């Protein structure tokens, strides 16, 4: 037995394996997220805040509330268990390829890109910056549709407000061009309105029966989210991207999210970029 000073502190709330199994079932049903056995401590640390906020005495009562609720607390539950690790121009080679394709896509029409896991906004704003740079204009013939299941992250993204620490990897020219000071000491920066106007935000649960998009996209960014789903759920989501992509469109996924189980749907262009196989993309070219 460990000496008393080396033993872990007792938990504030009892959290049984049955509670954990219930959390796993609920988050899989509500958001498609598959939690491994090793996530038990993470789940406790994130959900315990909700018990305190609601002044509940046990996880059982909290999960009863979540199970009965389809509104605010259901969203809070999902928000607590989603991960928002992101950065500006993460996986920079994706944006280099995007810049090359934008002018070709824009011949005679408007370019539309869906960022399907926008988190706190760094990714859709990076896409918007790439658009501005590709066309050397604050009003490129382009738009970004940004969505996420996490309503807290979406609110932050819409505000476009970032601590200096979050933008420090951007070069000085991009900082000067795309941000304005939001505090006297310069510790907070805000996205410029001209850039913000290129991005629209909405909540989309990728597991929902209907997605609020009914027009073809030139590209879909769904990066670093598929890894949280089981293989069957990944496949269902990827299949649903096809009718939304133009024939020459692209699907961008995260660095650990190869589509090896979807080679009948997409072909690899290298480095986690995929194109629809012939005849698999949007059959009606609209808008």
**Which structural domains are found in the chain, ordered by start?**
4-81 (1.10.155.10), 92-161+191-276 (3.40.50.150)
pLDDT in tens, the chain (287 residues): 445 444 445 678 889 999 999 999 998 888 778 888 888 998 998 899 999 999 999 999 999 999 887 778 888 888 888 776 789 999 999 999 999 999 999 998 999 999 999 999 999 999 999 999 999 999 999 999 999 998 999 999 999 999 998 998 899 999 999 999 998 887 899 999 999 999 999 999 998 889 988 889 999 999 988 888 888 899 999 999 999 999 999 999 988 887 888 999 999 998 899 999 976 665 444 45
DSSP 139: S
3-state secondary structure of 199: strand
CB 78 within 8 A of CB 86: no
Return the pLDDT at 7: 43
Calpha distance 59→26 (Å, rounded): 13
Beta strands in 90-216 (DSSP E): 111-115, 142-148, 161-163, 179-181, 188-191, 199-203
Return the pLDDT at 2: 45
Q: How many Cβ atoms sit within 10 Å of the Cβ of residue 257?
A: 18
Residues annotated as part of the active site = 46, 148
Phi, psi dihedrals of residue 182, rounded to the nearest 5°? -115, 0
**Prediction pTM value:** 0.81
């Amino acid at each position: 037995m460990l000496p008393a000073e080396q033993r872990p502190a007792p938990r504030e709330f009892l959290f049984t394996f049955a509670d954990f199994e219930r959390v796993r079932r609920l988050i899989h049903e509500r958001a498609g997220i598959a939690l491994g056995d090793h996530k038990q401590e993470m789940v406790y640390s994130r959900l315990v805040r909700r018990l305190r906020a609601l002044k509940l005495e046990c996880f059982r009562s909290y999960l009863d509330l979540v199970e009965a609720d389809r509104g605010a607390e259901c969203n809070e539950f999902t928000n607590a268990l989603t991960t928002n690790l992101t950065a500006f121009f993460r996986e920079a080679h994706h944006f280099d390829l995007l810049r090359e394709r934008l002018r070709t896509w824009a011949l005679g029409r408007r370019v539309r890109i869906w960022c399907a896991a926008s988190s706190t906004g760094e990714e859709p704003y990076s896409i918007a910056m790439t658009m501005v740079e590709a066309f050397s204009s604050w009003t490129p013939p382009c738009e970004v549709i940004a969505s996420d299941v996490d309503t807290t992250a979406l609110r932050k993204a819409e505000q476009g407000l970032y601590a200096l620490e979050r933008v420090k990897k951007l070069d000085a020219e991009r900082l000067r061009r795309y941000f304005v000071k939001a505090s006297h000491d310069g510790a907070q920066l805000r996205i410029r309105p001209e850039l913000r106007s290129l991005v629209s935000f909405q909540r989309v649960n990728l597991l929902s029966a209907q997605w609020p998009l009914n027009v073809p996209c030139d590209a879909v960014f769904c990066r670093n989210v598929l890894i949280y789903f089981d293989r069957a759920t990944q496949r269902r989501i990827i299949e649903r991207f096809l009718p939304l992509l133009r024939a020459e469109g692209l699907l961008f996924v995260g660095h650990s999210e190869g589509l090896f189980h979807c080679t009948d749907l997409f072909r690899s262009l290298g480095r986690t970029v995929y194109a629809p196989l012939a005849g698999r993309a949007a059959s009606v070219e609209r808008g």
